[in-house]
Amino acid sequence: MRRIFLSAVSMVMLATTAQSQDLSNGDKAAAVLQSFQTGDATAMKEYVNPDKYIQHNPYFPDGIAPVIGAVESGAFQGTLVNSYRTLSDGDFAVVQSLYSGAWNNKSPLVAIDVFRFEDGLIVEHWDNMMPLASKPNPSGNTQLDGVTQIVDADKTEANKTKAHDYIDTVLVKGEIDKIGNFVKDDNYIQHHPDIANGVSGLKAALGEFAKKGITMVYDKIHAVHGEGNFVLVMSEGKFAGKPFAYFDLLGLNDGYVDQHWGIMAAIPPASDWKNDNGKF
């Protein structure tokens, strides 16, 4: 069993470790993110391909140079980065974090960053962010609490399939009556700030959206990444008629989905993008 919460001190150590140390892709990704806190871009220079960095954050141009420049210029001074869950899945790494402190004078943000590797170096990046709620959800859960241990490594592929089918069946196809195939009874811990635990909580929230004339639509699943009992499903759709990106991090146990951490964020119009790669 492997603990995956990394303290600020250990993250700094990772960022300055020689490449000769055997780090997982998840460890490298977490160290790169820690650069925003330390102002030290060493990890970015060591673990990101200097000649190929495809950026899907619409507010940054392609290439790692603009990001390194912003870090070294002090643009993120005072920012705190705490990573809660870090997954390694082949050539991909997923990191769920909280960005706080002097985060551009904004409220704290919960984020999920996804990185793709080639030959041990990061060559592509996706992310999704939403504000940290000021209070727990109706069931008393926060957006980041809950289990952090990776277990069931041998069930990774089965869990990825289960997570994909859950999102595809219940949210893309809208067959909510089949949710029992994926969630056992009402054993479903919800970390969305506005939704209560259980199938009943999810149905109630969707019902409230409908009463207000708000639709939440999932149109397409773009990617599924996971390790052991954690799986991230990346999708796009519409919320209240506007284009949205949905990053659903699911916890699975004994073949069923039992926890959900979700980040939903509006996709800005193409006229505001700093690159031509799209959100996905």
Angle at 255 between CA 251 and CA 261, to 5 degrees: 15
pTM: 0.90
Strand pairing report for 121-131 and 54-55: parallel
Do 34 and 102 lie in a common domain? Answer: yes
Do 124 and 6 lie in a common domain? Answer: yes
Percent of the chain residues past pLDDT 70, beyond the cut: 91
> Among the listed ranges 99-108, 170-179, 270-279, which one has the minimum average pLDDT value?
99-108
Classify each residue of 236-256 as buried b or exposed e, where b means 16 or more C-beta atoms within 10 Å of its C-beta. Answer: bbebeeeebbbbbbbbbbeeb
Q: Residue for token digits 């409908």?
A: 210
Residue 102 scores a pLDDT above 90? no
Residue 138 lies in a domain: no
Amino acid identity, position 228: G
3-state secondary structure of 176: helix
Give the residue numbers spanning the domain of 219.
150-266
Residue 256 lies in a domain: yes
Residue 272 lies in a domain: no
Do 102 and 172 lie in a common domain? Answer: no
Do 190 and 88 lie in a common domain? Answer: no
Residue 171 near residue 245 (C-beta atoms within 8 A): no
Instruction: Supply the Cα-derived Rg of the chain in whole angstroms.
Output: 18
Confidence of residue 64 (pLDDT cuts 50, 70, 90): very high
Residue 141 lies in a domain: no
Residue 142 lies in a domain: no
Percent of the chain residues past pLDDT 90, beyond the cut: 79
pLDDT tens digits along 137-196: 999 999 999 999 999 999 999 999 999 999 999 999 999 899 999 998 888 999 999 899
Do 157 and 259 lie in a common domain? Answer: yes
Confidence of residue 2 (pLDDT cuts 50, 70, 90): very low
Angle between helical axes of 8-15 and 25-38 (0-180°, round to 10)? 100
Quote the pLDDT of residue 22: 82
Higher pLDDT, 13 or 260: 260
Q: Which residues contact 226 (CB under 8 A, 6 or more apart)?
A: 87, 89, 156, 159, 160, 163, 232
Q: How far is CA 188 from the centre of its chain?
A: 19
Residue 16 scores a pLDDT above 80? no
Which of 65, 100, 131 finishes a domain? Answer: 131
Residue 213 scores a pLDDT above 80? yes
Quote the pLDDT of residue 104: 63
Domain count for the chain: 2
Do 262 and 154 lie in a common domain? Answer: yes
Residue 73 lies in a domain: yes
Quote the pLDDT of residue 17: 45
- Average pLDDT score over residue span 63-91: 95
Residue 87 near residue 227 (C-beta atoms within 8 A): yes
| DSSP for residue 241 | T
Quote the pLDDT of residue 212: 87
Mean pLDDT, rounded, of the chain: 91
Residue 44 lies in a domain: yes
Residue 97 scores a pLDDT above 50? yes
Quote the pLDDT of residue 214: 86
Residue 38 scores a pLDDT above 70? yes
The CATH number for 49's domain is 3.10.450.50
User: How far is 39 from 33, CA to CA, in rounded Å?
Assistant: 10
Residue 105 scores a pLDDT above 70? no
- For 16, other C-beta atoms within 10 Å of its C-beta total 13
